């Protein structure tokens, strides 16, 4: 299972995430986000072998995603926006982010060249009804579950959805872009136990 800590903005948090068992770190390249990080700064953040570097983008041009991916040494592009398959970057896998504010048929994404669908809450730090994710039409996709997860609810979310991965950000922060290492470690411990 993928255990992703998103909104990494500094080496201290990246190292703590990896030491606690994260298998992916999210680097946010959306300029209007409080967790935005410049590509050159992201490139300076070291990760361990086997830890995926996931770049988060919102309605970004494919050429810019490719450029940032080269600079920041990304392994995955996580796209949140109105991108069509023709607008996906060609050089790296894509996780397509979807806000789960209503029941939807995800089979429309069968034609999208995605490695996974990232199902997110209706707003930052807010969860959604996980049974909706469990029963989505077109469910054969790999699912990364996000939105309002923390150490207190991640085991329940994993038990209900059985996702390919889990993603956490705002609920383990002391401030936007700064991780609370105790909360982060507790989340990763709970998620890894639930995934066994």
Q: Which of 6, 13, 150, 169 is catalytic?
A: 6
What does the alpha-carbon distance between residue 76 and residue 25 come to, in Å, rounded to a whole number? 10
Q: Which of 19, 82, 110, 120 is catalytic?
A: 120
Any catalytic annotation for residue 169? no
110-148 in b/e burial notation, b at 16+ Cβ within 10 A? eebebbbbbbbbeebeebbebeebeebeeeebebbbbbb
Structure tokens, 124: 């930052």
What does the alpha-carbon distance between residue 116 and residue 164 come to, in Å, rounded to a whole number? 8
Any catalytic annotation for residue 6? yes
Q: Taking each helix axis as running N to C, give the angle between helix 154-161 and helix 181-195, from 0 to 180 degrees, rounded to the nearest 10.
A: 30
Write out the catalytic residue numbers. 6, 120
């Amino acid at each position: 299972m993928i255990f992703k800590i998103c909104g990494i903005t500094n080496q201290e948090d990246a190292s703590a995430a990896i030491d606690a068992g994260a298998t992916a770190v999210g680097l946010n390249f959306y300029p209007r986000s409080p967790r935005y990080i410049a590509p050159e700064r992201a490139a300076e953040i070291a990760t361990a072998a086997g830890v995926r570097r996931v770049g988060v983008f919102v309605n970004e041009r494919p050429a810019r995603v490719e450029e940032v991916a080269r600079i920041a040494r990304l392994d995955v592009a996580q796209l949140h926006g109105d991108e069509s398959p023709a607008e996906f970057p060609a050089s790296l896998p894509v996780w397509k982010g979807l806000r789960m504010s209503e029941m939807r048929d995800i089979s429309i994404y069968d034609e999208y060249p995605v490695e996974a669908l990232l199902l997110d809450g209706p707003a930052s730090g807010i969860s959604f009804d996980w049974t909706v994710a469990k029963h989505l039409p077109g469910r054969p996709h790999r699912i990364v579950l996000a939105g309002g997860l923390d150490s207190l609810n991640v085991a329940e979310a994993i038990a209900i959805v059985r996702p390919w991965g889990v993603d956490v950000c705002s609920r383990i922060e002391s401030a936007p872009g700064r991780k609370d290492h105790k909360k982060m470690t507790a989340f990763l411990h709970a998620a890894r136990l639930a995934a066994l």
